[in-house]
Amino acid sequence: MLTKPQRLKKGDTVGVIAPASPPNQENLLRGIAFLENELGLKVKLGKYIKNQYGYLAGSDEERLADLHEMFLDKEVKAIFSACGGYGTGRLATSINYEIIKENPKILWGYSDITFLHTAIRQTTGLVTFHGPMLASDIGKADVDPLSKQYFSQLFEPMNIVYSEQHAPLVSMQDGVVTGELVGGNLCLLATTIGTPFEIDTKGKLLLIEDINEEPRSIDRMLNQLHMAGKLEDAAGLIIGDFHACEPQRELTLSLDEVLEYYVKVANKPALSGFKMGHCNPHFSVPFGVKASLDTYAKTITIESGIR
């Protein structure tokens, strides 16, 4: 059963954790200042947010402890990820999902956090949010004001309508479809295949995005989703931003050619050009709620993720 978290209000306390890689601390401070000064929130940091264990922000036990503690803390009303990187998938089998089910609250992040979005939503029914993170996005000097603007969806229930007002959109295959919005980072979605947290796309709108992957790698990951039936099961495809995914080899296919091939294979309505992913601005959306894709009007309408 779908569970929408409670909305935020000014003065609420929110938690900040690093469930993947260690964040840039200077950027993190600026991201925290945004939460405090622009959103009017109080911030509680995870105990291990300054830890580093190679490319991880602490051991699995430490990162898991911060996640559990923030869900258990009655004072904390939302949990924001400092950054992505690597390692959230290592936590999935050790998470106490009953804690999350009994203490539903806003969880916000993207990129490597995709594994948490998928595992938590499919295990507990909690709506989570795919949006820019504090250190890797909001705390940067060149952050676009629009990336900040969409945090407002956490304070007041509102439908999100994404159209060409924000950026040009391209219909790759026409149609009008409705379904639950799921997905995230393509690489992380592919790694769920064959695990207890395998992405369920049946009748759903599937959002994909990625960064620093050549077309040949995008091809390999989309082929894995195709062979697992995930593209064909989806009601429609939402193609987000594929940042720095240009080919580096002389003999290659272009990114567009790869995407067009798998849209044809899926044979489902598809719209590309969404500024969702590793981009600036980055438009945030809730996962797990109903959304409608209209390739003729070039819009996606997404219901509110809070109550």
Span 129-149, average pLDDT: 97
- Length of the chain, please? 307
Contact 154, 7 (CB under 8 A): yes
Which residue in the list 62, 69, 209, 214 is annotated as catalytic?
209
Which residue in the list 213, 278, 284, 292 is annotated as catalytic?
278
> How confident is the model at residue 297, as a pLDDT?
97
Angle CA 177–180–185, to nearest 5:
105
Distances (CA, A) of 131 to 79, 107, 136, 233: 12, 10, 11, 25
- Provide the 10 A C-beta neighbour count for residue 85: 20
Spatial strand order in the sheet of 76-81: 42-45, 13-17, 76-81, 106-109, 128-130, 285-287
pLDDT digits (tens, 9 = 90+) for 40-79: 999 999 999 999 999 999 999 999 999 999 999 999 999 9
> How confident is the model at residue 249, as a pLDDT?
80
Average pLDDT value for the chain: 97
Environment class of 54 (CB within 10 Å of its CB; exposed 0-12, middle 13-18, buried 19+): exposed
Phi/psi region, residue 96 (left: phi>0; alpha: psi -120 to 50; beta: rest), is: beta
Query: Is residue 292 flagged as an active site residue?
Result: no
> How confident is the model at residue 167, as a pLDDT?
87
At a CB cut-off of 8 Å and minimum separation 6, what does 103 contact?
71, 72, 74
Query: Is residue 209 flagged as an active site residue?
Result: yes
Please state the pTM of the whole predicted model. 0.97
**pLDDT tier for residue 237 given thresholds of 50, 70 and 90:** very high
* Token digits of residue 240: 């987000």
> How confident is the model at residue 80, as a pLDDT?
98
> How confident is the model at residue 252, as a pLDDT?
86
Q: Which domains does the chain have, with CATH numbers?
A: 13-154 (3.40.50.10740), 160-302 (3.50.30.60)
Percent of the chain with pLDDT strictly greater than 70: 100
* Cα-to-chain-centroid distance, residue 91: 17
> How confident is the model at residue 250, as a pLDDT?
74
Which residue in the list 21, 81, 111, 136 is annotated as catalytic?
111
pLDDT digits (tens, 9 = 90+) for 249-274: 877 899 999 999 999 999 999 999 99
pLDDT digits (tens, 9 = 90+) for 163-207: 998 889 999 999 999 999 999 999 999 999 999 999 999 999 999
Percent of the chain with pLDDT strictly greater than 90: 97
